[in-house]
Amino acid sequence: MGLLEGKKALVMGVGNKRSIAWGIATAFQREGADLAFNWPNERLKDNVLELVATLPNHESIPVGPCDVSKQDEIDKFFAEMDRKWGRLDILVHSIAFAAIEDLKSVMSLTYNAVDRVVPSYNSMAMAKAVLEAETRYLAADLGPHNVRVNAISAGPLKTLAGSAVRGISQARDLMVEKAPLRRNITQDEVGNVAVFLASEWSRAVTGATIFADNGFNIIGVTE
């Protein structure tokens, strides 16, 4: 039996097959979780539907529009989720919207530009810093309800969002050269960390930012 057998997991933020969120989704599916997805806009709708169609029993997977900048879409999407599932165990990404008594684990994605200067990341680094702080505060607020909140700080990956960051290719090359494990990471490896955070194996872990970057975050000056 998989680590997430029977768990209901909503994965928000899938853009294409290179998305970290997709790596997490496939890892969850491997471990027995029931999945649901959203598409944020019409531009990404076909991408999401094509990916979902590759999963086993894809006809029964809840998937629909949800632009998280529009409250009416959020309300409609989660009402439909509640009708189909009745509960939500795992929420991936930074949209903390669900009845807290139904949730068990919430996780978001961040990046080490919070602690290190990364040219061209700029305002996104500040947003990620807020996200990491909010992870800690939400963990404190939701802990009494037995809800755990954590963040995963992944290394630079070739994703749809990452492609908009100037110099991301050089950052990946630098990781291979300088990270203690001397290689880059994959979406699947980030997915495995997410499985741990979503499973009972991490039930004592909350308010944490877990690095999945082959140790790159510890490096200061190198020879």
Under 8 Å CB-to-CB from 46, ≥6 apart: which residues? none
Q: Which of 22, 28, 77, 121 is catalytic?
A: 121
Tokens for 146, please give them.
């037995």
Other beta carbons within 10 angstroms of residue 171's beta carbon come to 22
Q: Helix (H, G, I), strand (E, B), or coil: what is residue 90?
A: strand
Let me know if 111 is a catalytic residue. Answer: yes
- Give the C-alpha distances (Å, rounded to integers) separating 199 from 37, 53, 167: 19, 25, 35
Q: What stretches of 15-167 show up as alpha helix (H) in DSSP?
A: 20-30, 42-52, 71-84, 122-142
Q: Which of 22, 28, 39, 111 is catalytic?
A: 111
Count H helices, E strands: the chain? 6, 7
Given a contact cutoff of 8 angstroms between Cβ atoms, the answer to whether 81 and 10 are in contact is: yes
Counted residue by residue, the chain has a size of 223
HSE-CB for 190 with a 13 A CA cutoff: 30
Given a contact cutoff of 8 angstroms between Cβ atoms, the answer to whether 31 and 199 are in contact is: yes
Let me know if 121 is a catalytic residue. Answer: yes
- Which residues are the active-site residues? 111, 121
